[in-house]
Amino acid sequence: MLINADPHPLTQPPALRLFCPDDDGPIADRGRRVEPEHPQGLTPEVTLSEFYHQYAEPLRLADQQWAGGTVEQYRLTMQYWSQYTGDPPLAGVDEAVCQRFKLGLMQRAGLIDEKLSANSVLKYLRHAQCVLDMAGPKSRIHGRKAGLDKWGLFGFDADGDRREPPEIARLRSIERTPTPFSLMEMAQWIEACKSAQTPAIPGVEPADFWRALILFSYNVGTRKSTTLQLTRDMIEGEWLVVPPEIMKGRRREGRFWLNDHARSAIDSIRTADRRLFAWPYTPGAFTTAARRLIARSEIKPARRLGAGLHRCRKALLSWLAARNGDVARLQAGHASGGDVLLKHYVHPRIVRRLMARVPQPKLDGPPETDDPQQMLF
């Protein structure tokens, strides 16, 4: 509509300017919308992967919302996006482009099966949708989907209205049965670690590093990404108190009971480094080294695929859940700081007694395959 601009009093005649239908929108030029200025000079001509690397990742790392493992997953998502869509400018991203991305993932080969599982595809779709939402206009309703600015980077449609980020059609997730290691499988993995050549840590044999790491992960239950960032100053008496910065979700601290087996594990590889497990290489190198050792083990081939430290965590939590769900929730890191039951009714003696009973892999000889304890789970 046409309105009078405020002229300088008595010196300038009223001037006419043409504004967009919404009073606070970008100025129109001869009936066409003029692209507003965006942070860091971004425009609808940037691609989704360019937007991610230039803006989204630095932003999330700066506000500490993403951990290192999360960043790796998002980078891989952007790699797949470029591979299956050609990475067009955001102004050209629509539902058809998103469908190409989805179909490409559904045809991609997986580590375990011939194709990626539905849950893996869903993970990458969620990551891509998150980045798309970050490039879109801010939402007053969905606070967690807050976009780049008022207009977003998807340009305007034929009617001159700003475009919302396209929605990626989701798949239904599949509930999978937990697959913890048995005690015998953990012993077989530790046996295979005797041939390890990495990591090269002064004063620590590679085999001792892996043995300590596997036993600690099983007896404490921390996730891999958290375990590799633990330091000795986080040990407070019989508890391991983990700050939110290295916990999954980064919203609350974690409190984990350290039984004698966990303490013996970390003491066996103690060095001047303040980290409990001073892995000197990249997270990707760690995953590769762990998988190679599992491949050398006597673990059945069908059980090796997708195996890692997380199965040690599952083994502990499965054993605890069958005996005391509250202690299992505590060791899983799922208990909030305001949990009344755990804080006021579950006495540390209950935790201590149960954690002292955690069965251990047999490491002093060949595993007895007919021993029910060694076939746990």
The residue whose two tokens read 């008496």 is: 237
- Is residue 364, in this structure, part of any structural domain at all? no
Same domain, residue pair 352 and 234: yes
Same domain, residue pair 29 and 53: no
Same domain, residue pair 347 and 203: yes
Same domain, residue pair 191 and 298: yes
C-alpha distance from residue 160 to each of 22, 34, 152, 181, 284 (Å): 11, 10, 14, 58, 46
The pLDDT of residue 272? 93
The pLDDT of residue 335? 64
- Is residue 165, in this structure, part of any structural domain at all? no
- Is residue 370, in this structure, part of any structural domain at all? no
Residue-number span of the structural domain to which 29 is assigned: 1-34
- Is residue 318, in this structure, part of any structural domain at all? yes
Same domain, residue pair 223 and 315: yes
DSSP 276-323: SS---S-HHHHHHHHHHHHHHSSS-HHHHTT-SHHHHHHHHHHHHHTT
Of 342, 357, 345, nearest to 255 by C-alpha is 342
Gap between the Cα atoms of 206 and 187, Å rounded: 16
CATH number at residue 230: 1.10.443.10
Is residue 199 reached through a cis peptide bond, with omega within 30 degrees of 0 on the bond before it? yes
Same domain, residue pair 69 and 110: yes
Cβ neighbourhood burial of 361 (10 Å; 0-12, 13-18, 19+): buried
Same domain, residue pair 195 and 126: no
The pLDDT of residue 339? 59
pLDDT under 50 in the chain at which residues?
A: 1-31, 141-144
**Residues 180 and 377 sit within 8 Å (Cβ to Cβ):** yes
How many domains does the structure of the chain reveal? 3
Same domain, residue pair 201 and 73: no
Same domain, residue pair 135 and 222: no
Gap between the Cα atoms of 61 and 203, Å rounded: 34
Phi/psi at 182 (5° precision):
-85, 165
Six token digits for residue 187: 């012993």
pTM score > 0.85 for this model? no
**Residues 342 and 329 sit within 8 Å (Cβ to Cβ):** yes
- Is residue 84, in this structure, part of any structural domain at all? yes
Side by side, which strands form the sheet with 239-242?
235-236, 239-242, 254-257
Gap between the Cα atoms of 252 and 317, Å rounded: 20
Same domain, residue pair 85 and 129: yes
Same domain, residue pair 91 and 211: no
DSSP 141-194: S-GGG--SBSS-SS-B-TTSPBPPPPPPPPPPP------PPPHHHHHHHHHHGG
